[in-house]
Amino acid sequence: MAVVGAGGFVGYHVLSAGSGPAHVVSTPNRLLAYVQEPALAKGMGAQQLRAEIVAKGHGEASHVVDAVYEASSKSGPLIILFIGGNLSGSASSFISSFTGMLPGSFVTSPGSLGGQAACVPSVSGRPAECAWADDDTFGLIASPDLGATALGNELRQIRPLVEHKVR
């Protein structure tokens, strides 16, 4: 299976800010109708992409996690790659970098947890991608099966399931 590329996300740069994580990002076994599929994660190169995000983040991305999830639908399986973690930087710089690097990108609602979010449609065989950032977390979801608008809707539903206040 081809590696899901999160091209614009990998090259982000943000300005240092923040005083430490107030939230933690996790990868539960289930997200909505999706089930974590470690074999798909390996085949899609999720760990390598996570390592690339950490390396290119210049220390601004920490506690980064990854998982690939699959759900069944009437039209076949739906796959979502998720990478997220803590961010020591500006949400607006992060999202500006994301939208500036990917053609066709658009700002979308980040959902109930606030911050900023943007999506980009599938281009030239690359999957649709959506990302969020706030004052201490970031996340990216990518899917070869969903369009950018549908993926934005999934982001708003999935984010509260993966982002939690530190206790």
With tokens 């590696």, the residue in question is 3
pLDDT in tens, the chain (167 residues): 333 444 444 333 333 334 445 889 999 999 999 999 998 888 888 888 788 877 776 677 889 999 999 998 888 889 999 999 998 878 888 888 888 877 789 999 999 999 999 999 988 888 999 999 998 999 999 999 999 999 999 999 999 999 998 86
Token reading at 163: 């982002």
Assess contact for 131 and 138: CB atoms under 8 A.
Answer: yes
Assess contact for 141 and 80: CB atoms under 8 A.
Answer: yes
Q: Which ranges in 30-90 belong to alpha helices (H)?
A: 38-44, 46-56
With tokens 């700002």, the residue in question is 107
Residues 6+ apart with CB under 8 A from 51: none
Query: Helices (H), strands (E): how many in the chain?
Result: 5, 10
pLDDT tens digit string along 72-113?
Answer: 888 888 999 999 999 887 888 888 888 887 778 999 999 999
In whole angstroms, what is the distance from residue 165 CA to residue 167 CA? 6
State the pTM of this model. Answer: 0.83
Instruction: Find residue 122's DSSP bridge partners.
Output: none
Q: Is the dihedral of CA 95, 108, 4, 70 positive or negative?
A: positive
- Residue 138's CB: how many other CB atoms inside 10 A? 29
- Give residue 30's identity as a one-letter amino acid code: R
Q: Which ranges in the chain belong to alpha helices (H)?
A: 7-10, 38-44, 46-56, 91-101, 148-162
